[in-house]
Structure formats: C-alpha cells, structure tokens
Amino acid sequence: MNGIPSTARVQHALATATVDLGIIESNVRFLKSLPDAERELMAIVKADAFGHGMIPISHAMLRAGADWLGVAHLSEAIELREAGITAPIFAWLATLDTDYRPGIEANVDLSISSRLDAVRIAEAASSVGMTAKVHLKIDTGLHRAGSPVELWPQLLAEISSADWAKSLHVAGIWSHLSDPGEADGKANGIQYQAFAAAVAVAASFGIKPEYLHLSSSASVGRFGKASPGTAQLNLSRAGAGLYGIDDRGVGVKPAMTLESRIMQFRRVPAGSAVSYGGDWVSDRATNLALVPLGYADGIPRCIKGASVFCRGQRLPIVGRIAMDQFVVDAGDLQLEVGDQVILFGTGELGEPTALEWAQWAGTIEHEIYTGLGPRVARRYLNDKN
C-alpha cells in the first residue's frame, strides 16, 4: 500500500514505528566518513536510541562501524551489556543514588565532573577490587555538567596524586558544545580553545588520556585533523545525525516511519463539532476518519496545521488531539476502515517528516521521536542481527 515496505503486520498494535536499520547503518558510515571526522565514533543510544529502540539500533550502529556506544544513565549501559554487547560504553549521568559498582563490574566508562563524583566512583571501584575507567568533564561554556575551569586544577591534582584516587584510570577528557551546528563555528572555536587549555593543564599533572572528545553530530570533523596543538580530538559523540536529524544539512536520512490505520470512517453534516471542546466545526458535509493515536502515544496536543498521509494525499488533523485518538478531515475522499495512515516517514512518498511534526508542535525532532509511547510497536527492516 502506498509503496511503504511491508506495512504494519504487528497484530493488536494500534500503530507501528518501522525503523529501517539499513538507513541507520548508512548514517553511521556517512558521519564516520566526513572529512576530518574524529578517528572513532561513539553512537549515542540514550533514551531508547532516541525512541528508535536501543538494542536493535545498537547492534546496527556497531555493525556499521560505530566504535563506542554512549548513554546518559548507567542503567541504560547495563541493559546494553545484558543484551550481550561488548563494545566500549560510556555513561555520563548519575545522581547520589547511583550505585556505580554494577557499572564498573560491567566495564562501563564513567564521567567525573567534580571531586564528589571522583570520590564516589573511586570508592565503588575499590569496594569491588577493580579500577574504574573515567572521563573527566570540563565545562567549556554550556554550563551544564562538567568541572568549572577554576576547580579543574584542584580536581586534577587530587586525581593524579591522592591515595583514594588510585582505583581510577583516566581514559578520557571531554566536554559538550552549546551550539554544535552553528554556521560560523565561532562559539565552537572558543569552546575548543577552552578545551585545549584544559587538556594542557591535565598534561601538566601527568594526565594524558587516550580519548579527547568534544563533537556531537553537527560538529563531527569540525575540529578534526586540522586542529593544532595538544587537543587532538579522536572521538565524537553522535546521536541526532544517526537518526536522520540533519542539524547541519549534510544529508543524513530519517529511518523511522510512523503509521497507523483508520479505525472508523463516517460522513458528518456541515456544522459538526469535532473532539473535546468542539473548537473545530465543519463548514460543509465531510468525511471524518478516526486514528487510534493520541498524546499518550507522543502525538503532541499542541500541534497546529498538522496533516497525515493516506491514499497518496495529505489530510488535515482536525479538533483536539485526545489521549488515545485523533480525527482527520478527509473531505469528499472515500476511505475505508483499515486504510494505512502515515504520520511521518522519510518524506519520499510525499508524507510528512518528523521535522514537519516538530515544526507543527514548535519543538525539535528529538522530542517527536523520544515522545513515542510504549503502545507504539517497533518493527525493524534490514535487521541482520
């Protein structure tokens, strides 16, 4: 139907997100092959691989040449290990409740932004009789996590000489950019300079780790082989671009198609108010189609001007999005219960893209993808695992 490869066959699912792992793989290869790309690529699979499904996506990314996997939470890293993934994994977020021990035992690289992080990780490592691999984070301007520049020498002094720090192995120094896709690269350059300075300070304490990482998708290769001096970046952390979110306009492709089926179809007279509050009223007799997806499934309630793709046409969503369903105005088009409705895809058939949904909702594609709820079944094309 409509040329989409094998539509939802998942029984009982109200909607299906079909992810083409072949596209994911080519996005990985594409970012890795950008001019001056860092030697190694960490594929970021946090938040269930941006809603695409962490385990199948991780296998595909590694198959395509990703060297590392990156996640925010340690629990995500452990899930990857439990799925049998042995590649290097970096997990960078923790709270005071985080028990680092299972992460250290699972050979997960951890992040340190402060003395408190360092002490807690070192204690966890010595309590299991192991060395923890850590990446020291310097704040170069994002002002999120990371050591403030003024505390950096003190942190390095302790890590390089304190007895309690002997169970730490510094494997990396890293930071994160505020605006990796910026056109002129000016703010990026300032952050890179701050990073290079922090790397030089670390070297003065004898800390010369194997990995230096700063770039995310939109800046892969921007500081590559051209970068002078001490801070030769050799690892990038790419998320968005691998899912086809093209912040930099390089030509990566979306891999997910979200589709559902019409569950009810009816003709209504002019003057029919649709959905809660009745704030959309038909100005003519028209055909309405009901789609079983709502804001609980990640369809933003705030969308304005959104449409879906059905039988080769874009049809507007009318009335408020409910928790579980929404209504489409089909005009005089005759549809049938069970017809495929594509919410978004690659755009190649004329269907909307996740980028358009993001614009209709006043947000970014990341939020559209990660918002998809558990009632949406995930299916994979080109799964070679």
Ligand X SMILES: *Cc1c(COP(=O)(O)O)cnc(C)c1O
**β-bridge mates for residue 378, sequence order:** 17
For residue 217, state whether it binds ligand X (rule: CB under 6 A). yes
Q: Distance (Å, rounded) from C-alpha 328 to C-alpha 90?
A: 44
Binding segment for ligand X (CB under 6 A), chosen from 5-13, 14-22, 232-240, 372-380, is 232-240
Active site residue 380: no
Using the minimum distance from each CB to ligand X, give the nearer residue, 155 or 220.
220
Q: 307 near 356, Cβ under 8 Å?
A: no
- The residue within the footprint of ligand X, chosen from 120, 133, 135, 176 (CB under 6 A), is 176
Please say which residue, 20 or 247, places its beta carbon nearer to ligand X: 247
Q: For residue 368, give the amino acid letter.
A: I
Nearer to ligand X, 176 or 379 (CB): 176
Minimum distance of ligand X from residue 181's CB (angstroms): 8
260, 292 contact by CB (below 8 A): yes
Element (H, E) at 133: strand 132-137
The tokens for 17 are: 């997100």
- With respect to ligand X, which residue has the nearer C-beta, 59 or 237? 237
Contact between 352 and ligand X by CB under 6 A: the answer reads no
Residues sharing a CB contact under 8 Å with residue 341, sequence separation 6 or more, in sequence order: 259, 260, 261, 262, 289, 291, 308, 309, 310, 328
Contacts of 216 (CB under 8 A, 6+ apart): 44, 176, 177, 180, 236, 237, 238, 239, 240
| Residue with smaller CB distance to ligand X, 44 or 341 | 44
Q: What is the smallest separation between the CB atom of 283 and ligand X, expressed in angstroms?
A: 43
- Name the 3-class secondary structure at 21: helix
- Which of 18, 98, 191, 216 binds ligand X (CB under 6 A)? It is 216
What tokens were used for 47? 């938040």
- Tell which one of 165, 238, 315, 361 touches ligand X (CB under 6 A): 238
Indicate whether 239 belongs to the interface with ligand X (CB under 6 A): yes
| Residue 310: both structure tokens together | 């059905």
* Least Å from the CB of residue 355 to ligand X: 15
Cβ neighbours, 10 Å, residue 206: 10
Per rule CB under 6 A, is residue 54 in the interface with ligand X? no
Out of 240, 321, 328, 358, name the contact with ligand X by CB under 6 A. Answer: 240
Tell whether residue 89 is a contact of ligand X (CB under 6 A): no
The reply to whether 237 sits near ligand X by the rule CB under 6 A is yes
Chain centroid to Cα 26, Å, comes to 16
CA distance 80 to 59: 10
In this complex, which beta carbon is closest to ligand X, that of residue 148 or of residue 350?
148
Selected catalytic residue, list 186, 225, 276, 384: 276
Q: How far is the CB of 218 from ligand X (least distance, A)?
A: 6
Q: Which is nearer to ligand X, 366 or 378 (CB)?
A: 366
- Is 276 a known active-site residue? yes
Convert residues 258-297 into a mask of x (bound to ligand X by CB under 6 A) and - (unbound).
Answer: ----------------------------------------
The residue range among 12-20, 155-163, 210-218, 313-321 that interacts with ligand X, by the rule CB under 6 A, is 210-218
Treating both helix axes as pointing N-terminal to C-terminal, what angle do 74-82 and 54-63 enclose, rounded to 10 degrees? 70
Tell me: does residue 44 bind ligand X (CB under 6 A).
yes
Write the CA distances from 165 to 3, 86, 98, 125, integer angstroms.
Answer: 59, 26, 19, 10
Q: Give catalytic residues, as residue numbers.
A: 46, 276
* Residues that bind ligand X in the complex, under the rule CB under 6 A: 44, 46, 92, 176, 216-218, 237-241
